[in-house]
Structure 1
Amino acid sequence: MRNIFDFIVKYSHWALFILLQLLAAILLFRFNSFQGSVWFTSASEVTASVTKVASEVTRYFGLEKMNRDLTERNVYLMQQLEYYKALAGQKEENNDSLIVIQGLQKTIRTDSSVVVMKEPPTLMDRSFVVCPARVVNISVRRLDNYLAIDKGEANGVRTGMGVISGTGVVGIVCRTSKNYSLVLPVINSGSSISCKIARTDYFGFLKWEGGNPLTAFMTDVPRHAEYEIGDTVVTSGHSTVFIEGIPVGTVATKDESDDEMSFTLGIRLFTDFGRLNDVYVMALPPREELTELEKDIKY
């Protein structure tokens, strides 16, 4: 305590000098309009600059949450699209149907039957989403690329589940541990995903042959298939991994296949794997009966 008192006494003249300078500045800027306006303008500019920098920093650190929200919103929109496509199919089969809202369900009354459908999915009712996940490791320059996510068996993730992002298809879970999983992405030579041209419903298989991670190929497209450059390609739903209608990419080029019996279309992928951060793991209802029926088929 004595040392502090000695310090104050020793430098008391400096403290008095600083105090008088502050007092003089206050009197100068407060009672002189010109000097006051200069001070106010300068202080405002400095404050604005500091606020802008702080805002940019806050916005940068908030991008992660914003990206997760956008991914969640896109998955939700995919769910709603599937719901309304199913509803439209029911209405086409029963043109004379009458739709009646009852509580949380929608009843479609026809002359011969009553079909009960659930209400459109909400953000809290992700019927096919197992969990959101974060990409913790990824490769994009190899022929056989992989990516790792921070969710595993403890979160309900199992091999064979599909992985999607806010922009479209990512890949299929191929290995799991308690807290992590490996995903076989679209940009792996071993990946093969059934997809179709959204406008005309002609389908093929999405494959990757290395090179540009933004470009893949849709093989086995029938020669009579109708398509145009720029057409959107989506998942076909002909699998137990992905529902129908998940975005894949757009048609960019056309080539003849080796057997000259079909076309191979170049697809510009929607998912940019070089910038992939947030994904969702999804699972369709089990289809053991179909799996059992097809297990002995040889191609």
Structure 2
Amino acid sequence: MFHVRCLHFPQAALRQKELEKSVQWAQDNDKTLRQIQDSLANTDRHLSAYLNDHIDAQQIPQEAQVAATPGPIGAKPRSDGDATKIQSELSSHEATLEDMVKKNQDKKPSPRVLGQIDLTQKMLTVVLTKFRLFQKPANYDVRLSECERLLAGVKSQAGVLGIRSVEQDVVQSQLDQCMKLYKVLSEVKGEVETVIKTGRQIVQRQQTEQPKNLDDRVTALKLLYNQLGSQVTESKLELEKSLKLSRKLRKELNGLTEWLAATDAELTRRSAVDGMPSDLEAEVAWAQV
């Protein structure tokens, strides 16, 4: 009997040790999860405040590399945040949770531990979404809308650029209007290109809650700009050509008018001095010279 009890002591001690390790592991997990949850809650508060105040990562010192897109003009930096630090912390939390989930697959964790891991992962997902939105330039929507407004204005006026008359004054007026539209497109080109590029990056990095809507708007903006650029440029060339021909025609008409006036004056003079000519065919031949 004593021998049997002696055999059970090492086994009991081993089970006790395993139980203690399991308890310690659970306590460590619980502590780590609480720390991550506290950190995420704090980050969530900061990001929510930034988003509500329309502050983006570009307005924060040492902005994250992943947010290196054109930002607000004249934006004032803030000293109460660091996007790089936020990025680093979130990446660390993500790696810790992945490692914790992997290790739990080899054990039999309590429902409480599994519930806390799931809760923490959901918190991380929410914060990551807000961080992506935080990396979107705060004034991007305003800039996109302004580009759309400008191009819509050009489109509404581009329809009257078709040649309506051969009169020089009319053609000149149309060309002046065309040049104004041409200037608008030239001046807005850089901003449109930047807005399109930034929009593509925002969609790719999931920095918007409506990626398809934004992608559609950016695509439509690009197509409209290219269409208007082609239309206005073509109208400019046609109107310039028409104006050149109109000027040539006016010059020739002026020359013809002067010749007719001079011929009429000469015929009138001759008629007054010599009376009706006897040789009408000779007079006609002279007038045609």
TM-score when normalising by structure 2: 0.21
Q: Determine which structure has greater relative contact order: mean sequence separation of CA pairs < 8 Å that are 6+ residues apart, divided by chain length.
A: 2
User: 1 or 2, which has the higher strand percentage?
Assistant: 1
Q: Which has the larger radius of gyration?
A: 2
